[in-house]
Structure 1
Amino acid sequence: MVAAERRRFADLIDPLTPEQLDTPSLCGEWTVREVLGHVVSPFAARRSWFLPLLLRSRFSLHRANAELARMVARRPVAELTAELRRNARNPFAPPVVGQLGQLTDLQVHAQDVRRPLGLAYAVEPEHVRTSLDFLVSRRSVAFGGGRRRGLRFAATDLDWAWGDGPEVRGTAEAIMMALTGRTVVLPELTGDGAAVLRKRSAR
Structure 2
Amino acid sequence: MGTSSAHLTSETRAERERLAGLFGDLAPEQWGAPSLCDGWRVREVVAHMTMPFRTRPIRIVAGLARARFSFNRYADRDARSTTEAMSDAELLDLLRRNIEHPWQPPGGGQAGALSHDVIHGLDVTEPLGLPPAPPERLALVLGSAADRQLKFFGVDLGGRRLVATDADVSVGEGPTVLTMPAKEVLLVITGRRPLTEARKTTR
Whether the TM-score (by the shorter chain) exceeds 0.5 is yes
> Structure 2-normalised TM-score?
0.81
Q: Cα RMSD between the aligned structures?
A: 2.5
- Which residue matches 2:162? 153
Structure 1 residue 192, shift from structure 2 partner: 5.6
Q: Distance in 1 between matches of 2:166 and 2:159?
A: 22
Q: State whether residues 101 and 140 of structure 1, in contact with CA within 8 Å, keep that contact through their aligned partners in structure 2.
A: no
Q: Distance in 1 between matches of 2:173 and 2:12?
A: 30
Q: 1:20 aligns with which of 19, 23, 30?
A: 30
- Which residue matches 2:49? 39
Q: Distance in 2 between matches of 1:149 and 1:100?
A: 26
Cα 1:51–1:96 change in 2 (3 A) is closer
Amino acid at match of 2:47: G
Amino acid at match of 2:106: P
For residues 68-83 of structure 1, what are the structure 2 equivalents within 5 Å? 68-74=78-84, 75-83=86-94
Amino acid at match of 2:162: F
> Structure 1-normalised TM-score?
0.81
Q: Distance in 2 between matches of 1:51 and 1:107?
A: 25
Q: State whether residues 135 and 145 of structure 1, in contact with CA within 8 Å, keep that contact through their aligned partners in structure 2.
A: no
- 1:102 and 2:99 are equivalent in the alignment: no
Q: Distance in 2 between matches of 1:171 and 1:160?
A: 10
Q: Gaps (5+ residues) in structure 1?
A: 194-203
Q: 2:193 aligns with which of 180, 183, 186?
A: 183
Structure 1 residue 84, shift from structure 2 partner: 1.6
Q: 2:133 aligns with which of 118, 123, 144?
A: 123
**CA offset digits 1:116-143 (Å, max 9, x no partner):** 2223x13213211111102334x44664
SS at match of 1:19: helix
**CA offset digits 1:115-171 (Å, max 9, x no partner):** 22223x13213211111102334x446643653463211112223234431112211
Structure 1 residue 2, shift from structure 2 partner: 0.8
Q: Distance in 2 between matches of 1:22 and 1:46?
A: 27
- Which residue matches 2:71? 61
Q: Distance in 1 between matches of 2:127 and 2:63?
A: 29
**CA offset digits 1:29-48 (Å, max 9, x no partner):** 11100000000111123667
Q: State whether residues 15 and 133 of structure 2, in contact with CA within 8 Å, keep that contact through their aligned partners in structure 1.
A: no
Q: Distance in 1 between matches of 2:13 and 2:189?
A: 23
Equivalenced residues, count = 191
Moved over 6 A (4+): none
Q: Distance in 2 between matches of 1:81 and 1:32?
A: 12
Cα 1:149–1:3 change in 2 (3 A) is farther
Q: Distance in 1 between matches of 2:103 and 2:95?
A: 12
Q: Distance in 1 between matches of 2:36 and 2:108?
A: 22
Q: Distance in 1 between matches of 2:185 and 2:142?
A: 8
- Which residue matches 1:8? 18
- 1:144 and 2:153 are equivalent in the alignment: yes
